[in-house]
Structure 1
């Protein structure tokens, strides 16, 4: 089994397959995830931003181009960071999210794109994010939808008669899951919707948004295969805010 971070994204087979997928534009990132994250994000002009699991830094650079004063882009993968393009207001840092420490009230915005399903200690990370945020600061992240991560192994669509179905099994049993995605036996972590939202509330954050995005008409016209994501949600996007005054 290959876990996430430096083990997964530094695996040369996975890295090359992932690079080809992103370059092709055939995945859900461009058509579904990026538009959904953009809708959830607050204005960033002058903001201090932290990007958790930045990969090659695409989101960090978009936020800097949108006016963020500085972006700390964090990833544990040496290969991903080596492929990241420089930007005058983006600083790249190689670190695992489990061990990342930052000063209290450091950031106006913390973001994470399709990374937290790799993190074993979700409550611990969310608690640290709440500590890093300034009063009024925002936390916005996307994650694989719990419907997609429930079954173990994450087998994907199954044939049923003349059609296909998506298996949702063992939903209440949270913990590691395996998936053959690009390479064999990738480890992810399944959590219920209530756990994901409850973790934000337990950390003292206020929920500001929730989205289960689907491809829009233009994406469906150009990539008809994306229609399968209308049959079950592939992603969950959550937004939260640190209150300006603690209760």
Structure 2
């Protein structure tokens, strides 16, 4: 199933109002941890799968990437990315992650930010990405953490006064579809264990270079209401892996 919520007007309007949609990478809580996981991008051919507004594409060119391709299934996302981009070496294309059709060895780095929990077959994505990467290439991605995706509710357990008592984890080993609620809409996500994610990479020919379960920065905790609760459980899992050759 190829889900395209971002071309629904109400959902896209809500997404466009999020701080990360307005402020870009610096407004994304995980960026300070994600950025150092990227390899040297100078002279590299970069593919961003699920590129959204193109923030990572433009960053790659700022780091002197030779060329950048950003793909997304959403026309709305791509239209906004093109509005924000003035660089002939960045190409945006409407394409689902499940349909990657570039020739083998077309890219040196593949990036994905918070898109892969919408994809049913992570193992198939790993195989496609490895094929697309040149020898020694890198795959760096972020996804919602399995602690976060285990329960479809994706919410705290509250006390009688509405206080956040704890983050419940249940059905962790029951992998598969979750009907979650995000931006006031029903959204399909896919839950996988940490072991499933890492083993899919290993079994398709990647070496895992670095893992991160990022916490918000001290500045974000001090300035953004409610951000201190994000220190209580991981929301994101980030992985940097290199193609074995």
TM bucket (normalised to shorter chain) is over 0.9
Contact 2:30-2:216 at 8 Å conserved across structures = no
Mark the runs of 5 or more structure 2 residues left unpaired by the alignment: none
Does 1:97 pair with 2:97? yes
- The aligned runs of 1:205-244 (5 Å cut-off) are 205-243=206-244
> 2:158 corresponds to which residue?
159
Does 1:44 pair with 2:45? no
1:121-146 per-position Cα deviation (integer Å, ceiling 9, x unaligned): 11001111011111110000000000
Contact 2:25-2:55 at 8 Å conserved across structures = no
1:129-167 per-position Cα deviation (integer Å, ceiling 9, x unaligned): 01111111000000000000001x224112145542111
Q: CA RMSD in A?
A: 2.0
Report the alpha carbon displacement of residue 185 of structure 1 after superposing the two structures with TM.
1.5
TM-score (structure 2 length as normaliser): 0.92
Q: Which sits farther off after the overlay, 74-83 or 15-24?
A: 15-24
1:32 aligns to what SS in structure 2?
Answer: coil
Report the alpha carbon displacement of residue 222 of structure 1 after superposing the two structures with TM.
1.6
- The aligned runs of 1:127-142 (5 Å cut-off) are 127-142=127-142
Does 1:18 pair with 2:19? no
Runs of 4+ in 1 over 4 A off after TM superposition: 23-29
1:55-90 per-position Cα deviation (integer Å, ceiling 9, x unaligned): 111111111111101001000000110111232221
> 2:186 corresponds to which residue?
185
1:209-243 per-position Cα deviation (integer Å, ceiling 9, x unaligned): 10000012122122142111110001000010012
Give, in whole Å, the separation in 2 of the partners of 1:169 and 1:28: 32
Give, in whole Å, the separation in 2 of the partners of 1:89 and 1:33: 26
TM-score (structure 1 length as normaliser): 0.91
Does 1:79 pair with 2:76? yes
> 1:58 corresponds to which residue?
55
**Aligned pairs, how many?**
240
Give, in whole Å, the separation in 2 of the partners of 1:221 and 1:117: 29
Give, in whole Å, the separation in 2 of the partners of 1:60 and 1:20: 21
Mark the runs of 5 or more structure 1 residues left unpaired by the alignment: none
Contact 1:145-1:233 at 8 Å conserved across structures = yes
Report the alpha carbon displacement of residue 99 of structure 1 after superposing the two structures with TM.
1.2
Report the alpha carbon displacement of residue 32 of structure 1 after superposing the two structures with TM.
2.1
Report the alpha carbon displacement of residue 31 of structure 1 after superposing the two structures with TM.
4.3
